[in-house]
């Protein structure tokens, strides 16, 4: 090619190149990293990329998911029009037809069976504004008590434990920036390196500062690279391990007597309980030697500062609530709370798992962390919403219990927004069968998810690139997510959809909003005076800073560190709890001899609806797998990289084996991001924690059958 032609093509390319850049925020995990989305048009072709943007939480870092999050938002499978199922097939309809369908079906169901015959199922990735509006929609537009959300499967054990212990639930009691000041850190059932990788530098800095790390996990995960002591615990025995640590702390005089006396209740009962504990019994229960339990206890108790972090590994158990309470006992008896480098954190999984439960998506909560059963709380919210207090429904049931109500025929219609319960729920085959019994299922989603495929009507919603709003990250910082990209087709925002449905149901006067900011103004007022007080937070402030709640007035700086002077109970004291060593009921048997635990991988998120549609992420992990110790594999004649069937009485899943010396020999691990026969939640246990109704995802007994054996038979 001649130099003249080269110059010509370069000139034409320059002429035809254009760039659009706007600020946004990652839609995935609870860190909520800031970014800039860049759209370029070069010689008639669109090119996209993401640039990390500095912020006060992740300091300009992005993980692999954030760097490629835009791919699902731009995917050709994005829903762009309402779809109505006719004769078993989806057909495109207008919004008018879609709204008329909802109006007729919801009204007919409620006329025949009562208001509570309609349920609402939300999601932890909705913005604060949309989570708030969904709660109001359920209670004002539908007047139903049945509303809950998928965050029940995420944070409910830790949230209930913090509320009971401290009187207040927030993801972290301290700032992330205090992590390097902790001289001992316990990471229990959390794989930060893969689930929240952009906050790992805080832990790396702590490591450089000489922090002693105790990592509690039946697997050797990427996070275990931090560990000075890895506790490869038997799944479900964390309570016993902590009781063993408390035994050492009490016996060897490491209790902070002054702190316990001045700032806690229940010490004498706890002390009496711990005196009866036998360390050898705790060792036998957990599979951890007594001297290792002693060593862990001494390291944490004698450190001048310390922090404890838990996540789903200990929380998604049928005793998850009591397990977290015991970890909180550990922090309280050593006085490691309310000071720099001293505190507790429940590492939230979903992008807005924190904010999503603060303002009304949970069955028992009203905005601002108010209780739907408290007369004063009900009266206040009713006044904000302009409805009679007696018309507000009472509390409903948890997310999985709603599915049970559907199966029993009590709930006849369901409205799902921002969730995929067919993949994310335990005993998933039962969930799918139950949803098929509904008279009317309406799903709002970006894609035709596994749940949406069962729907009578699917409504297209906007992505994070198009939908402005606020989120609350794992620290309790409220962040503003700008969104400037044009919506495709006839897509509407979640909040617009709720307002339009309310209008056709005759409740439009309560939902006259024209922007996310208008909704946030009402949310601020609704939260005012509550535990989660957002009143002092405005969009104007959030455009320049991320603000911690509680923030009761516009001139308040926000509360970065909780419980410095007192706890949130009326008397200002925290509550210690007696936690029994009751082993989880479900044990391995001759028929089901192996423990199955579940979790995430770096390149995927939740049910995989979004990340499996991001080519750069899907290609990194194209299928589910079963991590198994080679000795265990030999025992059950499992070849490496072979297809295997994992089976319980609830169902089965087929995945590919993967040898690993990093997992206990009595346990296998399977990630939960896939659907169909790879969906591991088809076998997970649906027994619920009696306190918080968290299902026992992290531990079920199963058997393993090589697929080749099945084929031979």
Q: Is the peptide bond before 60 cis (omega within 30 degrees of 0)?
A: no
For the four alpha carbons of 35, 527, 557 and 209, in that order, the dihedral sign comes to: negative
CATH, residue 412: 3.40.50.740
User: Which residues have a Cβ under 8 Å from the Cβ of 52 and sit 6 or more positions away?
Assistant: 33, 34, 35, 36, 60, 61, 62, 66
- Structural domains counted in the chain: 4
In a domain, 570, yes or no: no
CATH, residue 671: 2.40.40.20
Strand ranges across the sheet with 469-472: 469-472, 477-481, 547-548
- C-alpha neighbours within 13 Å on the C-beta side of residue 575: 19
The torsion angles phi and psi of 207, rounded to 5 degrees, stand at -60, -45
Q: Do residues 471 and 351 touch, judged by C-beta distance below 8 A?
A: yes
Question: Does 332 lie in the same domain as 307?
Answer: yes
Q: Do residues 160 and 168 touch, judged by C-beta distance below 8 A?
A: no
**What was the pLDDT predicted at 517?**
98
In a domain, 713, yes or no: no
Distance CA 602, CA 195 (A): 6
**What was the pLDDT predicted at 9?**
42
> pLDDT: is 349 or 369 the higher one?
369
Closest CA to 409 of 113, 610, 132: 113
Mean pLDDT for the stretch of residues 231-253: 96
Distance CA 340, CA 111 (A): 56
In a domain, 522, yes or no: yes
Question: Does 220 lie in the same domain as 146?
Answer: no
Q: Do residues 132 and 381 touch, judged by C-beta distance below 8 A?
A: no
**What was the pLDDT predicted at 4?**
57
CB-based burial, 463-498: b 16+ in 10 Å, e otherwise: bbbbbbbbbbbbbbbbbbbebebebbeebbbbbbbb
Q: Do residues 425 and 403 touch, judged by C-beta distance below 8 A?
A: yes
Distance CA 305, CA 519 (A): 41
Q: How far, rounded to the nearest angstrom, does the alpha carbon of residue 705 sit from its chain's CA centroid?
A: 32
Question: Does 323 lie in the same domain as 185?
Answer: yes
Q: Is the pLDDT of residue 17 over 70?
A: no
Mean pLDDT for the stretch of residues 212-229: 97
Question: Does 342 lie in the same domain as 200?
Answer: yes
Average confidence score pLDDT of the chain: 94
Q: Is the pLDDT of residue 710 over 60?
A: no
CATH, residue 30: 2.20.25
User: Which residues have a Cβ under 8 Å from the Cβ of 209 and sit 6 or more positions away?
Assistant: 180, 181, 183
In a domain, 561, yes or no: no
Question: Does 330 lie in the same domain as 202?
Answer: yes
Question: Does 117 lie in the same domain as 18?
Answer: no
Q: State how far the alpha carbon of 280 is from the alpha carbons of 65, 273, 314, 584, 630, in Å.
A: 44, 16, 22, 19, 29
Q: State how far the alpha carbon of 296 is from the alpha carbons of 86, 214, 399, in Å.
A: 61, 7, 37
**What was the pLDDT predicted at 465?**
97
CATH, residue 231: 3.40.228.10
In a domain, 93, yes or no: yes
**What was the pLDDT predicted at 45?**
82
140 lies in which domain range? 83-153+352-548
**What was the pLDDT predicted at 18?**
72
Domain boundary among 321, 346, 371: 346
Q: Is the pLDDT of residue 12 over 80?
A: no
Assigned token pair, 644: 């295997």
In a domain, 19, yes or no: yes
Q: Do residues 135 and 363 touch, judged by C-beta distance below 8 A?
A: no
**What was the pLDDT predicted at 570?**
96
Sorting pLDDT into bands at 50, 70 and 90, what band is 583?
low
In the chain, count H helices and then E strands: 26, 28
Q: Is the pLDDT of residue 198 over 60?
A: yes
Domain boundary among 548, 568, 583: 548
Q: Do residues 61 and 200 touch, judged by C-beta distance below 8 A?
A: no
Question: Does 499 lie in the same domain as 434?
Answer: yes
Q: Identify the DSSP state of 121.
A: E
Q: Identify the DSSP state of 655.
A: E
Question: Does 422 lie in the same domain as 542?
Answer: yes
Plot region of 215 (φ>0 → left; ψ -120 to 50 → alpha; else → beta): beta
Sorting pLDDT into bands at 50, 70 and 90, what band is 585?
low
**What was the pLDDT predicted at 586?**
59
Distance CA 439, CA 108 (A): 10
Mean pLDDT for the stretch of residues 147-161: 94
Sorting pLDDT into bands at 50, 70 and 90, what band is 147?
very high
In a domain, 567, yes or no: no
In a domain, 558, yes or no: no
User: Which residues have a Cβ under 8 Å from the Cβ of 267 and sit 6 or more positions away?
Assistant: 260, 261, 333, 576
Question: Does 393 lie in the same domain as 320?
Answer: no
Question: Does 266 lie in the same domain as 409?
Answer: no
Domain boundary among 22, 43, 74: 74
SS3 259: helix
Question: Does 470 lie in the same domain as 379?
Answer: yes
**What was the pLDDT predicted at 155?**
87
Beta strand segments in 455-517, E: 457-460, 469-472, 477-481
Query: Tens digits of per-residue pLDDT, 382-422?
Result: 999 999 999 999 999 999 999 999 999 999 999 999 999 99
Q: Do residues 617 and 604 touch, judged by C-beta distance below 8 A?
A: yes
**What was the pLDDT predicted at 40?**
87
Q: Identify the DSSP state of 123.
A: -
Question: Does 67 lie in the same domain as 101?
Answer: no
Distance CA 49, CA 502 (A): 38
**What was the pLDDT predicted at 13?**
47
């Amino acid at each position: 090619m001649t130099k003249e032609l080269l110059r010509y093509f370069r000139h034409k390319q320059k002429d035809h190149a254009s760039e659009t850049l706007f600020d946004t925020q990652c839609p995935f995990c609870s860190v909520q990293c800031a970014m800039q989305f860049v759209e370029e048009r070069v010689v008639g072709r669109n090119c996209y990329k993401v640039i990390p943007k500095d912020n006060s939480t992740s300091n300009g870092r992005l993980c692999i998911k954030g760097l490629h999050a835009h791919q699902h938002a731009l995917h050709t499978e994005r829903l762009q029009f309402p779809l109505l199922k006719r004769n078993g097939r989806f057909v495109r309809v207008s919004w008018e037809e879609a709204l008329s369908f909802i109006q007729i079906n919801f009204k007919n169901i409620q006329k025949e069976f009562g208001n509570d015959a309609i349920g609402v199922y939300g999601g932890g990735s909705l913005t604060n504004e949309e989570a708030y509006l969904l709660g109001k929609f359920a209670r004002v537009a539908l007047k139903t008590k049945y509303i809950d959300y998928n965050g029940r499967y995420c944070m409910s054990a830790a949230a209930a434990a913090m509320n009971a212990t401290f009187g207040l639930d927030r993801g972290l009691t301290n700032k992330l920036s205090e992590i390097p000041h902790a001289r001992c850190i316990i990471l229990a059932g959390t794989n930060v390196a893969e689930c929240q990788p952009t906050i790992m530098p805080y832990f790396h800095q702590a490591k450089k500062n000489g922090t002693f790390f105790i990592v509690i996990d039946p697997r050797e995960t990427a996070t275990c690279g931090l560990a000075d002591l890895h506790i490869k615990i038997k799944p479900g025995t964390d309570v016993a391990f902590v009781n063993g640590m408390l035994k050492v702390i009490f016996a060897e005089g490491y209790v902070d007597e002054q702190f316990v006396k001045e700032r806690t209740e229940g010490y004498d009962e706890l002390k009496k309980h711990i005196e009866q504990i036998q360390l050898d019994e705790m060792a036998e229960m957990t599979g951890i030697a007594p001297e290792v339990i002693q060593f862990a206890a001494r390291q944490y108790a004698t450190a001048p500062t310390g922090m404890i972090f838990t996540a789903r590994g200990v929380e998604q158990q049928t005793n998850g609530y009591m397990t977290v309470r015991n970890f909180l006992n550990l922090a309280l008896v050593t006085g490691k709370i309310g000071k720099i480098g001293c505190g507790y954190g429940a590492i939230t999984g979903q992008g807005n798992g924190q904010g999503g439960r603060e303002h009304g998506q949970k069955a028992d909560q009203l905005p601002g962390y108010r209780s739907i059963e408290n007369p004063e709380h009900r009266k206040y919210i009713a006044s904000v919403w302009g409805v009679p207090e007696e018309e507000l429904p009472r509390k409903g049931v948890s997310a999985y219990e709603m599915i049970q109500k559907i199966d029993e025929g009590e709930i006849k219609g369901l409205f799902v927004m921002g969730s995929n319960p067919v993949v994310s729920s335990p005993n998933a085959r039962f969930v799918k069968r139950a949803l098929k019994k509904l008279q009317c299922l309406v799903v709002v989603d970006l894609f035709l998810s596994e749940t949406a495929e069962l729907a009578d009507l699917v409504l297209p919603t906007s992505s994070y690139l198009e939908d402005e709003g606020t989120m609350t990250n794992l620290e309790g910082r409220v962040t503003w997510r700008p969104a400037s990209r044009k919506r495709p087709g006839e897509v509407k925002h979640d909040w617009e959809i709720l307002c339009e449905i309310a209008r056709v149901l005759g409740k439009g006067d309560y939902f006259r909003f024209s922007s996310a900011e208008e909704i946030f103004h009402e949310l601020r007022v609704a939260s005012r005076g509550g535990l989660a007080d957002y009143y002092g937070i405005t969009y104007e402030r959030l455009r320049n800073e991320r603000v911690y709640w509680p923030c009761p007035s516009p001139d308040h700086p926000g509360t970065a560190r909780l419980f410095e002077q007192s706890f949130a109970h009326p008397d200002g004291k925290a509550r210690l709890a007696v936690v029994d060593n009751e082993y989880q009921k479900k044990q391995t048997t001759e028929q089901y001899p192996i423990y199955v635990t579940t979790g995430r991988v770096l390149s995927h998120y939740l049910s995989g609806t979004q990340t499996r549609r991001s080519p750069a992420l899907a290609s990194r992990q194209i299928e589910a797998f079963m991590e198994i110790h080679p000795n265990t594999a030999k025992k059950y004649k499992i070849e490496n990289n072979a297809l295997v069937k994992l089976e319980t009485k609830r169902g089965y899943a087929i995945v590919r084996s993967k040898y690993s010396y990093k997992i206990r020999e009595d346990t296998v691990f399977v990630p939960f991001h896939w659907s169909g026969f790879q969906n591991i939640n088809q076998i997970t246990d649906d027994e619920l924690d009696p306190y918080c109704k968290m299902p026992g995802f992290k531990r079920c007994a199963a058997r393993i059958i090589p697929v080749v054996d099945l084929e031979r038979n």
